[in-house]
Amino acid sequence: MKKLSFSIIIAAFTLITAHAQLSTGENTAVTNTDAGKVRGYIHNTIYTYKGIPYAVAKRFEAPQKPTPWQGVRSSMTYGPVAPLMDPTTSVQDEGEFVFHHDWGYTSEDCMRINVWTPGINDGKKRAVMFWIHGGGFTAGSSQELPSYDGENLAKKGDVVVVSINHRLNILGYLDMSAYGEKYKHSANNSILDMKVALEWVRDNISNFGGDPGNVTIFGQSGGGAKVNTLMAMPSAKGLFHKAINESGAFTTAMLDKQTTQTITAEVLKALNLQPNQADELQKIPFAQLSDAGKKALKVIADQMKASGKQLPPFGLSWGPSIDGEDLPYQVSSPEAYELSKNVPLLIGTTKNEFTPFMNGAFTNAPLDKVMENIKKHQGDKADAYIAAVKKAYPDDTKPSDLMDVDVTFRPGAVAQANQKSSLAGGAPVYMYLFDYQSPVMDGKYKAVHCMELAFVFNNINRCEEMSGGTKEAYALADKMSSAWINFARTGNPNHKGLPNWPAYNSTNTATMHFDNKCIVKPQLDKELFDLVAPRAM
């Protein structure tokens, strides 16, 4: 009886300690930054810090170092997110179930950094993975999706994961440069915020167990576009050493200064302000400023259409522009590619991106209805289109698969991979395509935009609503997160769980297809792209 009781006690103690994964306290997880000490918490052996200020700024002015604080700053919860032009007031129930957003709370004082690390003050030099959120250049945050949590990735790879919030939309991109020296950088303050956050990493990450000499920037969608923008930013050179672009290789040209300054003039006009009253824009409530910005963008878009100028595929919006200083080159220019020539690149997209939303009415449609819709949109190219899709994806069986292949995001990724890999003596490029079809909601969301993130961050347990939480999902997440970790460490994503993944070039077009069975194939969708090239970004 005594032996049984002792065994029960030991078993109970083991169970308790196994679940005692959270450590907090006044003296727990305390380390230094150049602005003062911070205190986080330890969960599942990972030191976690959230909402640390990396910069401050007045509206439309360049970011500055935060004012140092006394004592120890509690940094245990996410900081404010950037104000949004269109705040979420309602959601589509099923879609929100799948994405499971965390909208956070807003403030213009939103320049905050989050860190997940296996150890602090231990002298180790861990690879740093610097995450940049999506949402275009106008929305999103470092906490928006559950997949963004860095704990599992940090633990699995013994890496330091960092994410940031930064200024967005009109606050990050309104070009006030014509109205005073203090606004010199205003057209690209959002990108400047990211550069300053990378400087914070350079100056502070050693205290968090990271190596400032081995930093990988990675982002998805708008975050991928921000990765490309940083690669084209001369003053950011040397602050990162590798880059990963997930579904963000947009080929749309950035606006020039004449256009961005004209937009600002229209904002003033919409608010009944004269040029000598431009400083008033620093005081106007954000909602009022945002409305004026929308009006100005519409005016300029209409003028561009009238003059025959081509608009971006998703319409005129806020984003980085050629300002002659912070961003002197287009991101796809030879000068920009030369600037980042020695930065290894991992790039790819998901098989379906937004098509499951665009073609939702045909998810379970019979073949004749799908064919009818394809002929409606492709006209005399319908037969060639169907043949090209079947060549690219010969194993597809569902009728809607014929119309759900992405032809908007991937062409830009292929173009970027071709151009970067052609640089003589340049760093390698690795191409992927995420094919995995989620079983959620009878498979209707397929490999939708953002789907790969749960796999990259090894966060299937946090994202079952999107990934399905199946054993196949966990197995694929193990392979993908290991590839991202290895790339961050060495610039090469290969590991024993994958078939050999050659560096990409325009001749071998080697592409890793991530699915229940991972396989490297050459590009099989070139004919498809040739047919639908006008839809590419």
- Active-site residues: which are they? 221, 353, 449
Task: Give the whole-angstrom CA distance, residue 303 versus residue 298.
Answer: 9
Query: Is the separation of the CB atoms in 176 and 312 below 8 Å?
Result: no
Dist. CA 198–CA 191, nearest whole Å: 11
Phi, psi of 243 (to 5 degrees): -145, 145
CB 114 within 8 A of CB 162: yes
d(C-alpha 146, C-alpha 482), whole Å: 19
- What DSSP string runs through 312-359? PTT-S----B--SSS--S-TTSHHHHHHTTTS-EEEEEESSBTHHHHT
∠ CA 333-337-343, rounded to 5°: 160
Burial of 349 (0-12, 13-18, 19+ CB in 10 A): buried
Give the full edge-to-edge strand order of the sheet including 72-74. Answer: 30-33, 36-39, 72-74
Angstrom distance (rounded) from CA 532 to CA 525? 11
Q: Are strands 160-164 and 210-220 parallel, antiparallel or unpaired?
A: unpaired
CA dihedral for 404, 405, 410, 411, sign (positive or negative): negative
The packing angle between helices 189-204 and 222-231, to 10°, is 80
Are β-strands 46-53 and 41-43 bridged in parallel, bridged antiparallel, or unpaired? antiparallel
Q: Where would I find the H helices in 101-250? A: 151-157, 169-173, 189-204, 222-231
What CA–CA distance (Å, rounded) separates 50 from 396?
Answer: 43
Other C-beta atoms closer than 10 Å to the C-beta of 39 total 19
Distance, in Å, from the CA atom of 478 to the CA atom of 219, rounded to the nearest integer, reads: 19
How deeply is 526 buried, as exposed, middle or buried, from its count of CB atoms within 10 A (0-12, 13-18, 19+)? middle
Cβ partners under 8 Å of residue 534, min gap 6: none
